[in-house]
Amino acid sequence: MGMLWRSAEGYIRHWVALLGAMLIAGLWVPLYGYQVGNGWLYGPQIFLPDKLGWAGALIMVLLTLAGCYTFFTWIEIRKKRG
């Protein structure tokens, strides 16, 4: 969305980026031979509750979110210090 907004404001670099994104999106099937989400480029789908159980999946997702939050907070604190 930001790229669209800036290109509407007249930033030429974002026009080039939009053109490149449109070209890649149009060439996806000829390049890879499959639609997005299918084919060799993607692995098998995994449903976490089947692998870990509902409680295990919930704990894993919450720990992942907490880890990301902690990491980004640590980065922001480092930026403010230095």
Q: Count structural domains, the chain.
A: 2
Does 34 lie in the same domain as 67? no
Does 53 lie in the same domain as 36? no
Does 53 lie in the same domain as 22? no
Using alpha carbons, list the distances in angstroms from residue 49 to 53, 66, 80, 82.
Answer: 4, 19, 40, 43
Does 17 lie in the same domain as 3? yes
> Residue 36: what pLDDT?
74
pLDDT tens, position by position, 17-76? 999 999 988 888 888 777 777 777 778 888 999 999 999 999 999 999 999 999 999 999
Residue 55 belongs to domain spanning? 46-82
pTM, whole model, 2 decimals?
0.53
Does 62 lie in the same domain as 34? no
**Residue 31 burial (10 A CB sphere; 0-12, 13-18, 19+):** exposed
Does 36 lie in the same domain as 54? no
> Residue 37: what pLDDT?
75
